[in-house]
Amino acid sequence: AQSVTQLDSQVPVFEEAPVELRCNYSSSVSVYLFWYVQYPNQGLQLLLKYLSGSTLVKGINGFEAEFNKSQTSFHLRKPSVHISDTAEYFCAVSGNNAGNMLTFGGGTRLMVKP
Amino acid sequence: DGGITQSPKYLFRKEGQNVTLSCEQNLNHDAMYWYRQDPGQGLRLIYYSQIVNDFQKGDIAEGYSVSREKKESFPLTVTSAQKNPTAFYLCASKWGGGRGNEQFFGPGTRLTVL
């Protein structure tokens, strides 16, 4: 079985400040990790993914994430946020289950304030 | 333009009625998925299909049914047996069976039971 925990349900931050959205996972097998973003009343869009290789992964819109196997974490970071980054962010893991299903965390709402 | 379409965007249903949500993709993807999204609970898998004429139950299949008669289409029926159907429903698709492949999401259908 696999699970994903997003430790913060909401993260308020001022514009141009750095931000980190935390994600921890548990799995008995090697995993692939994903971050998705959802703008209000829309579907999800892939920000970045980790499959193998370098543990620092760069994605779209200036986001990056670091895979830490020993801490079973995949935290998302951005050095300077914009108002337009206000959205919900989901961490997901794909393990070795039937159908290679994605398991999602509960989401973190990023609220960027002027 | 390739993508996933879901219709309608908003749907209202009276208690005791069945209702069908449409999902169509022109990405030539083999696998398709239905998720339910409730505030603070992330995405939960309802049904998935990896090939035409075959589908599997996800974590919360009770009160839902699907069909996969064509590769492009994966409609979801919310039956009267679903006790709490008010939610945001998301359809997704993925190319191939690899667990590192990205899932692409539609814009969602918001279902409200009156």
Whether the ω angle into residue B8 lies within 30 degrees of 0, i.e. cis, is: yes
Beta-carbon contacts of residue B84 (< 8 Å; ≥ 6 apart)? none
Beta-carbon contacts of residue B70 (< 8 Å; ≥ 6 apart)? B52
pLDDT at A108 over 90: yes
Residues of chain B with Cβ-Cβ distance to A107 below 8 Å are 40, 42
SS3 A99: helix
Q: What pLDDT, on a 0 to 100 scale, did the predictor assign at position B45?
A: 94
CA distance B18 to chain A (A): 23
Residue of chain A with shortest Cα separation from B88: A41
Q: What pLDDT, on a 0 to 100 scale, did the predictor assign at position B1?
A: 64
The DSSP secondary-structure symbol of B102 reads: P
Nearest CB to B90; choose among A6, A32, A43: A43
- The answer to whether B105 contacts A43, with C-beta atoms less than 8 Å apart, is yes
Tell me the DSSP string of B5-38: EEE-SEEEE-TT--EEEEEEE-S--SEEEEEEE-
Mean pLDDT of the residues in chain A: 92
HSE-CB at A5 with a 13 A cutoff on CA atoms is 8
What's phi and psi for A60, nearest 5 deg? -85, 165
Cα(B20)–Cα(B84) distance, integer angstroms: 16
CA distance B85 to chain A (A): 17
Quick check: B45 contacting A, CB < 8 Å?
A: yes
Q: pLDDT category, A98, cuts 50, 70, 90?
A: low
Average pLDDT over residues A31-44: 92
